[in-house]
């Protein structure tokens, strides 16, 4: 039976950095204790992030070139290009994504380009699931390039009360029947009533007499809806999506060798490990301190670094999990 594997995973992080204490100062982030005695500034665990003036598509292009080079794949071999950036930013338009731009710039003359980005930071999983289905259903699609590129506005790096966002790009090369990093299954859950917990208001949602400003293109959180709707169910939904995935494959958590989880904060990572009885050697956490959250690219970057460091080895079964504004929880099992 056909399957889909990951030939390569690559990323690009711009060299310039900004200290998180300066981010908090510039963005007037509030002090104070949240639920469970967590103080956002004290307990975030992020010291600095990557920042750049490059367009998001430029970050994506650099990551895509690296992924193609690592996989040894030529431009003519790519049949499909999928953008899974959660917030496309080069242009604000109803049909624009960087997929066409990347196809053109890389000379992917045989590829079809499109985007899958409605799952927030879980868009990585939604893209994997969609591309796998297409590849297994269409004999003409053998190789796919998936990519993301993020550059948050200069004064909108803080996603209070969750994390601080870093600029960067990531990319994957998928190939039908590849021996490396076989994708066993992807599972997703969405809850529609939470669709606007995180949102970018845009010009159309200006309040009466509100002046036009860049802040209308900043990310906002409905704190009451976040506290009442997301917090009580967050880790229960992680458990649900992982259990559903393992049941499909007739596996248990004991069969999982390693976990890839987003780099939100130290307290979020600690709760994830406590909830599922995991020790720090089973979850990739070291990237948090000097990178922060690279949105949907976290899963690609953390996986790539874990492979480079020998934490993920051939034959390992890896659980890659995330949640994302939209609102979705997702998990993928990969046999490396």
pLDDT along the chain (336 residues), means of 10: 95 97 85 62 91 96 98 98 87 81 97 88 93 96 97 89 92 97 96 89 86 85 85 93 97 97 93 95 94 95 97 97 92 98
Let me know whether 199 and 296 are in one domain: yes
Let me know whether 33 and 127 are in one domain: yes
Q: Phi, psi (5° rounding) for residue 322?
A: -165, 160
Looking at residue 251, what is its pLDDT?
97
How far is it, in rounded angstroms, from Cα 297 to Cα 3?
Answer: 23
Let me know whether 166 and 297 are in one domain: no
Looking at residue 237, what is its pLDDT?
95
**HSE (side-chain half, CA atoms, 13 Å) at 282:** 15
Let me know whether 146 and 189 are in one domain: no
Looking at residue 34, what is its pLDDT?
54
**HSE (side-chain half, CA atoms, 13 Å) at 4:** 26
Token pair belonging to 86: 């959660």
Long-range contacts of 310-315 (CB under 8 A, 24+ apart): 311/258, 311/284, 312/257, 312/258, 312/336
Looking at residue 333, what is its pLDDT?
98
Alpha-carbon torsion angle 153, 327, 195, 274, nearest 10? -90
Let me know whether 41 and 107 are in one domain: yes
Let me know whether 146 and 18 are in one domain: yes
User: Which residue range is the domain that position 28 belongs to?
Assistant: 4-178
Number of domains in the chain: 2
Closest CA to 187 of 323, 294, 297: 323
Task: Look at residues 133, 150, 178 and tell me which one is the last residue of a structural domain.
Answer: 178
CA angle 120, 108, 50 (to 5 degrees): 40
Looking at residue 56, what is its pLDDT?
95
Let me know whether 163 and 239 are in one domain: no
Closest CA to 170 of 138, 199, 132, 128: 128
CATH code, domain carrying 289? 3.40.47.10
Let me know whether 209 and 168 are in one domain: no
Task: Look at residues 119, 153, 178 and tell me which one is the last residue of a structural domain.
Answer: 178
Task: Look at residues 155, 178, 201 and tell me which one is the last residue of a structural domain.
Answer: 178
Let me know whether 8 and 113 are in one domain: yes
Let me know whether 201 and 154 are in one domain: no
Looking at residue 96, what is its pLDDT?
82
CA distances for 119 relative to 59, 113, 212, 247, 327, angstroms = 20, 19, 28, 23, 6
Let me know whether 144 and 209 are in one domain: no
Provide CB contacts within 8 A for 191, sequence distance 6+: 233, 237, 327, 328
Looking at residue 117, what is its pLDDT?
83
Let me know whether 202 and 289 are in one domain: yes
């Amino acid at each position: 039976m056909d399957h889909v594997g990951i030939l390569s995973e690559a990323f690009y992080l711009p060299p310039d950095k900004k200290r998180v204490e300066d981010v908090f100062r510039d963005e007037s982030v509030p002090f104070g204790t949240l639920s469970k005695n967590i103080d956002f500034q004290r307990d975030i665990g992020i010291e600095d992030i990557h920042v750049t003036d490059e367009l998001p598509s430029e970050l994506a292009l650099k990551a895509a070139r690296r992924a193609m080079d690592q996989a040894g794949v030529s431009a003519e071999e790519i049949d499909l290009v999928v953008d899974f950036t959660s917030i496309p930013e080069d242009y604000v338009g109803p049909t624009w994504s960087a997929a066409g731009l990347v196809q053109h710039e890389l000379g992917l003359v045989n590829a079809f380009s499109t985007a899958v980005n409605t799952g927030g930071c879980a868009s990585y999983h939604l893209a994997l699931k969609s591309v796998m289905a297409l590849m297994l259903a269409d004999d003409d699609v053998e190789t796919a390039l998936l990519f993301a590129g993020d550059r948050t506005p200069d004064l909108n790096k803080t996603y209070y009360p969750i994390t601080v966002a870093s600029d960067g790009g990531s990319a994957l090369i998928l190939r039908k029947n590849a021996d490396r990093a076989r994708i066993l299954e992807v599972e997703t859950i969405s809850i529609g009533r939470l669709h606007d917990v995180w949102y970018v208001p845009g010009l159309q949602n200006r309040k009466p007499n509100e002046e036009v400003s860049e802040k209308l293109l900043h990310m906002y959180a409905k704190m009451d809806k976040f506290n009442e709707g997301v917090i009580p169910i967050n880790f229960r939904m992680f458990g649900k999506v992982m259990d559903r995935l393992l049941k499909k494959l007739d596996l248990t958590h004991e069969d999982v060798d390693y976990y890839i989880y987003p780099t939100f904060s130290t307290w979020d990572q600690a709760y994830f490990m406590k909830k599922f009885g995991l020790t720090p050697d089973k979850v990739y956490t070291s990237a948090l301190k000097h990178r922060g959250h690279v949105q949907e690219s976290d899963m690609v970057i953390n996986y790539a670094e874990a492979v480079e460091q020998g934490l993920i080895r051939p034959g390992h079964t890896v659980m890659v999990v995330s949640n994302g504004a939209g609102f979705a929880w997702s998990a993928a099992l990969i046999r490396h």
